[in-house]
Amino acid sequence: MNGQTDSLFAGSPAFDKGYLPRDGGHEIYYEQSGNPDGVPAVFLHGGPGAGCPAFHQRFFDPSFYRIVGFDQRGAGKSKPHAGVEANTTAHLIADIEALRAALGVERWLVFGGSWGATLALAYGIRHPERCSGFVLRGVFLGRAREGDWFLDGMGVFFPEARRAFENHLPEGERDDLLAAYHRRLTDPDPAVHLPAAQAWMTYEASCSTLHPPAPRNDGGTASPVALSLARISAHYFINGFFLKETPILENLGAIRHLPAIIVQGRYDMVCPIVTADAVHAAWPGSELVVVPDAGHSALEPGIRAGLVAATERFKEKLG
């Protein structure tokens, strides 16, 4: 192993993959890899709408874990692509539980970063008896202040990225960025929604690492990932992440008895450390690992090393 992912496990081919039919016309794509008889672990991707990355399984020892990854509604290979109808946090929680039952899993380690951490906690609060523990990264709780930070606050540290994000819109649409982007991202015309999707994804990516990547030279063409990420994210943002009636921090009591390791970049500008610290303070049995030289991305060296160390620690707890 070398290069960007040199602290990760070698990948293993999927031993099972398929689609799980769900309500609202959705079909959830999933894969299983690692040890078919191993300790189950489920990977919850971020976004919302980013899709499960190909490297998701490499945070886990494939000889020990039975690794389940899936694309949430509208993301990745799930169908319909970038669909926002019948797509809420409650739907996603129900999908996780339906997938668990379909795969015959009794309990599993729940691993999630960014929005995936939000979903991991929301799922755990709803189904604590199905969770053996949690590995969380770049914690996000879906509160209004966190959404406002993403849309406006990050510009304190990345003013050029924030300015480009704002300047994508005509001057008359800049008073309410979220409403304007949501309107454009849900417009049926690709000439409207694709450039908006690329602008949203570029803004987020520009703020996600301690050392920002080199600017892309792709002619501004939006990828399928950009469309699902941006459209579904805007849909969740504008609806308060569908968590207003069940705020996470106030309901952590349901899972405080379970072990949790939180890996957090000190300079995470997408999901600032104050949120991870609040979860840790409200969860006395949790462990907070602060990576001193990292931002938000799971693939920054210190973050990926911390996540692998966390799944290795859980081998002792779950073996």
Q: Tell me which residues are annotated as active site.
A: 114, 268, 296
Token pair, residue 72, equals 């949430």
Pair 56, 43: CB distance under 8 Å: yes
- Nearest partner of 154 among 96, 88, 203, judged by Cα: 203
For the chain, percent helix, then strand, then coil, each to nearest 5? 45, 15, 40
DSSP code, position 18: E
Q: Concatenated DSSP letters for 224-271?
A: HHHHHHHHHHHHHHHTGGG-TTS-SGGGGGGTTTS-EEEEEETT-SSS
Q: What is the rounded CA–CA span in Å between residue 174 and residue 168?
A: 9
> What letter does residue 79 receive in the DSSP assignment?
B
Closest-CA residue to 299 (of 113, 150, 62): 113
